[in-house]
Amino acid sequence: MDIEVCMPDIGMKCAEVIEVLVQVGDKVIKEDGLVSIESHKSVLEIPSPVSGIIKNIYVKIGDTISVNKLMMIIAESCDKNNLIKTNKINNNCIVNSADQLNINNSINSDNNYQDKEIYASPIVRRMARKLNINLLDIAGSGRKGCVTKEDITKYNTIHNDINIYNTKDILVKQDNLKNKNDDPEYQLLTGIQKISGSRLLNNWKNIPHVTQFDETDITELEDFRKLYNSRNLANKNFQKISLLSFIVKSVVHVLLKYPRFNSVLDVNKNSIILNKNINIGIAVDTQDGLLVPVLKNLKYKNVSEISYEIFDLANKAKNNQLSVLEMQGGSFTISSLGGIGGTGFTPIINAPESCILGISKATIKPIWINNKFRPRLMLPFSLSYDHRVIDGADGARFTNFLGLLLSDIRTLLV
Ligand code: CAO
């Protein structure tokens, strides 16, 4: 039996066709998307009322159609099993009709993008979610910048094919050496890992990173810190001051001298916005993944206060007690792996910030001083910066000055 599919009443007199999702001869199952139309700055998908074969299409992209206008004729079919199979082959993003119903509902629940006026049909949004793609990263090629299925496929091929290839390849290799007990174990990513993973990927892809490596002599700083901590041990309320708090205090000093390192690049306005507050995020390693609580208004805080705050926020992070507010508002980030190890690494910038400082493990090294090798405690550190904001020469000036402050903390006072 032939079924006429007409434009439903969606509360508007007429709407524009953004995408025609099927062709004559296509097999569809009930609830499959047929046409995407523009409605109140969002995209709505008209689902198929029956399973069958598309017989005629009377609309095309760009048409303005009014309520009750005939859009398609579908020859209804009863052989649903066959249709479901065909659909699986033709489009590996459509798995079954129940999933398809979810797609149609997603237009209302997908708040992430609604404010930003992204044009994409529910099926495209679902594809993007499944592939962990942020629609904001894609310039839609469809009408009115609508993101199409092809845009998603193309983006995914360019950005993620290495990932897909590697996984398959590893599994095939493992299959050849098969020993039943050695079947791979799948560990699901935690929520934090999923969110931070996609942010890290975007930041790595979109920001031209340069990493400047340096090291500085912290022998005297550590002598002073240990002495200060040991002198105060008897005091019950005393919170020992950490090496990291001196690093934070020194970075604040450097940022006051070189404010561009405490800025945000506004690409749309071709400007660099210099932050007036110095708020430093500290990367904290937790059981569920990386969290970055932010130390606020650091211009006015001394080393003890900073040390106490790091201790407090790191504890909260590790016990899953951070509030959203405590993780917002950063203007610069420090990632310290010094307590764990390593001689150097390239930290990834935490956008929209422009820089991130990585701290590695301090070790005793022979340093040539006054015609003699002397054992000195050397701290390696690395500064990754957005090369659109910072020049290489300035990057080296930053690390020089930071090194100077840490090697002689009296400089912090002048
Ligand atoms: N070199 C050598 N030793 C160091 C050091 C350094 N740079 N930094 C710390 N240490 C040693 C010190 O001996 C310290 O003990 P004392 O202060 O008593 O001497 C000990 O390590 C413990 O330090 P800590 O790391 O627990 O404390 P912290 O204040 O230095 O750091 C925090 C706190 C939150 C940064 C840390 O717990 C943490 O989570 N680090 C990991 C961050 C991370 O994962 N970054 C990677 C992000 S990219 O994936």
What domains can be seen in the chain, in order of their start residue? 1-85 (2.40.50.100), 87-188 (no CATH), 207-413 (3.30.559.10)
pLDDT of residue 371: 97
pTM of the model: 0.65
Return the pLDDT at 44: 76
Assess contact for 296 and 329: CB atoms under 8 A: yes
Predicted confidence band of residue 108 (pLDDT cuts 50, 70, 90): very low
pLDDT bucket at 4, cuts 50 / 70 / 90: very high
Q: What is the mean pLDDT of residues 269-289?
A: 95
Give the CA diameter of the chain.
98
Q: What is the mean pLDDT of residues 373-393?
A: 98
Q: How far is CA 289 from each of CA 93, 286, 314, 333, rounded to the nearest angstrom?
A: 29, 5, 13, 17
Judge whether 159 counts as a catalytic residue.
no
For residues 214 and 175, which has the higher predicted lDDT (pLDDT)? 214
Give the pLDDT band (50/70/90) at residue 123.
confident
Consecutive H or E run containing 15: strand 14-20
177-229 confidence digits (pLDDT tens): 666 677 888 888 888 888 889 899 999 999 999 999 999 999 999 999 999 99
Does position 99 have pLDDT exceeding 80, yes or no? no
Which pLDDT band, with edges at 50, 70 and 90, does 378 fall under? very high
- Tell me the pLDDT band of 162, cut-offs 50, 70 and 90: very low
Cα 337 to ligand 1 centroid, rounded to whole Å: 6
H helical segments located in 110-190: 111-114, 122-130, 149-176
Mutate to test the pocket of ligand 1, among 201, 233, 244 (most ligand atoms within 8 A of CB): 244
Q: What is the mean pLDDT of the chain?
A: 84
Higher per-residue confidence, 185 vs 341: 341
Contacts of 147 (CB under 8 A, 6+ apart): 118, 119, 120, 124, 128, 135, 138, 140, 141
Our answer on whether the CB atom of 361 is closer than 6 Å to any ligand 1 atom is yes
The set of residues, in sequence order, having a beta carbon less than 8 Å from that of 244 and lying 6+ positions away, is 282, 307, 310, 334, 336, 338, 359
Q: Which helix (H) or strand (E) holds 357?
A: strand 355-359
**Whether residue 406 has its Cβ less than 6 Å from ligand 1:** no
Helix (H) or strand (E) holding 191: helix 191-206
Q: Are strands 332-336 and 280-282 parallel, antiparallel or unpaired?
A: parallel
Distance 285 CA to ligand 1 centre (A): 10
Residues written for the chain: 414
pLDDT score at 89: 28
Q: Are strands 52-57 and 27-28 parallel, antiparallel or unpaired?
A: antiparallel
The single-letter DSSP state of residue 200 is H
